[in-house]
Structures are given as C-alpha cells and as structure tokens.
Homo-oligomer: A and B are copies of this chain.
Amino acid sequence: MDPNVRKNTVAAWTSLIRASARSLAVIEAALAGANLPPLSWYDALLEIEKAGPDGIRPYVLKERLLLPQYGTSRLLGRLAQAGYIIRTPCDGDGRGHVEKITDEGRRMRQAMWPVYQQSLIDIFEDNIDEKEAEILHDILRRIAN
C-alpha cells in the first residue's frame, strides 16, 4: 500500500505555488503597467549583457535561463525583432549563432530594473525580514536543485 503524503508537505506545496504565482503576477503587472516588456525579456537581456562584447551562444543561454531550446529560439527572435539584440553566425562553428546586446537593449534592461526591483521590495521586504529571507533561500534551494 502506498504511503500517504504528509499534511505539512501539501501545505508547504500550496503556499509555494501561490507565493510564486502571486509574485510573478505583481511583477508582470508592474512591468506591463509601465509599458515595459515581460520579465523573461529582462532575464535574457541581463544574461546577454553580462556575457560582454563577445556575446553568448543560444545553447549557453538556454542553460542559464532554464528554457527549452525552442523557447530560447523564439525568445531571441522576439528580442532581435525589437532591436534589443543582434544575432550573427558563429565563427568557428557553422551550426551556431552568437547573440549580442544593443545599446537599445541595454537601455531597456536598465529601464526595467527599477520597476522589477520595487516589486521585489513590495512583495518580499514588506512581508518577511532578512533572516526569514535567508531561511527561505536555504530551504528552497534544496527543492529547486
């Protein structure tokens, strides 16, 4: 006979999805309300910017952003379409591409940050203290793997 899941576990799981859904909703609403692109654009632009002038390969970005290959491909397509990145063929590996951020891309990422940051403050810092944030991180890290 199957073992039963603990009530504690279900309670933790429920609050986990609700907390993440609500946080995401708050952030996306703040960005949309300021006529800014979605959070996924921020994450991608940040990684591409951090890669520096050499740019980054899609398969590396995919690992960093935890996106499937086709998801990365579609996101990069939209970012390029918007003029925030440039995509060039990769010297030395004819299969690959290299992604680099543009000045417009850098500006947009910088414009998004204050809105994103303020949402995080509203969601987290108004509700939990510094010690609790650390505890949360320590426990969730083990679930996030």
Contact = CB atoms under 8 A, between A and B. Distances in A.
Contacts of A9: 120-121, 124-125, 133
Contacts of A121: 3, 5, 9
Interface of A: 2-6, 8-13, 15-24, 66, 114, 117-118, 120-121, 123-125, 127-128, 130, 132-137, 139-145
Contacts of A128: 12, 139, 142-143
A42 to B, nearest CB: 13
Interface centre among A3, A4, A12, A23 (most CB of B within 10 A): A12
A18 B123 CA distance: 17
A140 B19 contact: yes
Nearest to A125: B9
Contact of A137 (B12, B23, B66, B130): B12
